[in-house]
Amino acid sequence: MAENNKTAAAGAVPPKPKAAAPGAAKPAPSKPAPSNTAPASGGVYKPPVDRPDPNPYKETRVSDLTAWFQERFYVLVPVIDYLKKKEVPKHRLSFWYYFGGLALFFFMIQIVTGLLLLQYYKPTEAEAFASFVFIQQHVPYGWLIRQIHAWSANLMALMAFIHMFSTFFMKSYRKPRELMWVSGFLLLVLTLGFGFTGYLLPWNELAFFATQVGTEVPKVAPGGAFLVSILRGGEEVSGETLTRMFSLHVVLLPGLLMLVLSAHLMLVQVLGTSAPIGYKGTGMIKGYEKFFPTFLAKDAIGWMIGFALLVYLAWAFPWHIGIKADPLTPAPVGIKPEWYFWAQFQLLKDLKFEGGELLAIISLTVGGIVWMLVPFFDRQASKEEKSPAFTIFGLLVLAFLLINTFRVYLEYGW
């Protein structure tokens, strides 16, 4: 088994950290266990008299301040112990372990800068564009915050893609990490949802028509027209659409993403970091480093580099705000979505025959579901055996995304 975490084994639940500490009160073995549910005479509930010590850690040697917190949050002590025990394997592919943390970092940047933008942004058809101009031109450092938000969104999506393919090719999704993969896939979908809903918020011409094209796509599928009217808040893209995109962008998607992210990170901590198949016991692992503080400190160095890059990009390559959307003018030529939808966009363009769009939608949906469930199909990897067929599958998916994205770039430019 390839886990670093010495407690974790394939399919096995890691043993609980020792709960007993010096001085912990033990329940008397001879007495019958008290029932929590049986009502006392007269139907009045009485709590059991003989209970084990609720805080088995109270006698451990800690500073006064730590003791104060420990008395209140002692249930977290085993969790912290667990974090201290977690180790990350060192090998020639260890570099790829940093990309999940980088995606997380850019997400945190999004929350902070998003909250700052919210102080001035006005999500109405009449005011949205003007509020963006105001942020760019009059709010102190508003231009920087807006540019960082826009760039960080792109970098977060890029990091999530790199992280997904690196975990795919290392087969980190194999048993018992299937749900890490599934939750990660949902994170990617939510990240793309952020990009899609955020695109319209400046209410500029490009975003307006791109949203019109993007929200049109599901129409060809059965029940799609209903979905389109829900997304748009009517037949056409309008101020109603802006309200919907705004509420999705600042309420629903952040809430969902944080929920799924908590599950993802909890699984990462509980199951530990995996090593590629065949690395363990063959001398390819050059030791382990403690997650806390060694790996985390290296993560932090990556984050600082990421932040420096972000500020440079925001300063040197600003995203232009364009001109205000006018629904009555015809769509300008060269309308395209953001780069992370280019591959799908190109497929829709390629299948421009009768029923082609529906075929593209079905292929993308089925392909996405298969990709999400890949850990359950790859039986060989779960048995710690190499699975070249899945590596080829991953390479084909990557090639599809890269080639189609490049084709859109060639046709439309950046």
- Residues facing residue 290 across a β-bridge: 87
- Choosing from 77, 104, 128, 237, the residue that interacts with ligand HEM (CB under 6 A) is 104
- Choosing from 77, 109, 180, 325, the residue that interacts with ligand HEM (CB under 6 A) is 180
- Choosing from 142, 176, 184, 218, the residue that interacts with ligand HEM (CB under 6 A) is 184
- Comparing CB distances to ligand HEM, the nearer of 57 and 303 is 303
Stretch that binds ligand HEM, among 52-60, 177-185, 214-222, 231-239 (CB under 6 A): 177-185
Length of the chain counted residue by residue: 414
Q: Is 101 in the site for ligand HEM (CB under 6 A)?
A: yes
In sequence order, which residues have a C-beta less than 8 Å from that of residue 383 and are 6 or more positions away? none
Amino acid at position 303, single letter:
W
Element (H, E) at 288: strand 288-290
Q: Is 273 in the site for ligand HEM (CB under 6 A)?
A: yes
Ranges assigned E (strand) in 37-90:
87-89
Element (H, E) at 290: strand 288-290
Q: Is 107 in the site for ligand HEM (CB under 6 A)?
A: yes
Q: Say how many Å lie between the first and final Cα of the chain, rounded.
A: 45
Stretch that binds ligand HEM, among 75-83, 93-101, 332-340, 383-391 (CB under 6 A): 93-101
Q: How far is the CB of 414 from ligand HEM (least distance, A)?
A: 24
| Residue 79 phi, psi (nearest 5) | -65, -45
Q: Using CA atoms, how far apart are residues 377 and 182, in angstroms rounded to an integer?
A: 13
Q: Is 279 in the site for ligand HEM (CB under 6 A)?
A: no
Q: How far is the CB of 253 from ligand HEM (least distance, A)?
A: 11
Q: Is 114 in the site for ligand HEM (CB under 6 A)?
A: no
Q: Using CA atoms, how far apart are residues 19 and 93, in angstroms rounded to an integer?
A: 36
Q: Using CA atoms, how far apart are residues 336 and 209, in angstroms rounded to an integer?
A: 9
Confirm if 91 and 285 have CB atoms less than 8 A apart: yes
- Comparing CB distances to ligand HEM, the nearer of 191 and 241 is 191
| Cα maximum dimension of the chain | 85
- Choosing from 121, 185, 199, 291, the residue that interacts with ligand HEM (CB under 6 A) is 185
- Comparing CB distances to ligand HEM, the nearer of 91 and 324 is 91
Q: Using CA atoms, how far apart are residues 50 and 48, in angstroms rounded to an integer?
A: 6
Q: How far is the CB of 260 from ligand HEM (least distance, A)?
A: 9
Q: How far is the CB of 104 from ligand HEM (least distance, A)?
A: 4
CB-neighbour burial class of residue 302 (10 A; exposed 0-12, middle 13-18, buried 19+): middle
Question: What six digits make up the tokens of 209?
Answer: 């028509």
- Choosing from 8, 116, 117, 164, the residue that interacts with ligand HEM (CB under 6 A) is 164
In sequence order, which residues have a C-beta less than 8 Å from that of residue 314 and are 6 or more positions away? 144, 147, 148, 150, 151
Which residue is nearest to ligand HEM, using beta carbons? 184
Q: What is the DSSP letter of 219?
A: G
Q: How far is the CB of 174 from ligand HEM (least distance, A)?
A: 9
Q: Is 152 in the site for ligand HEM (CB under 6 A)?
A: no
Confirm if 196 and 249 have CB atoms less than 8 A apart: no
Binding mask 231-270 for ligand HEM (x = CB under 6 A): ------------------------------x--x---x--
Stretch that binds ligand HEM, among 15-23, 169-177, 245-253, 355-363 (CB under 6 A): 169-177
- Which spans of this chain sit near ligand HEM (rule: CB under 6 A)? 97, 99-101, 103-104, 107, 160, 163-164, 167, 172-173, 177, 180-181, 184-185, 187-188, 191, 261, 264, 268, 273-274
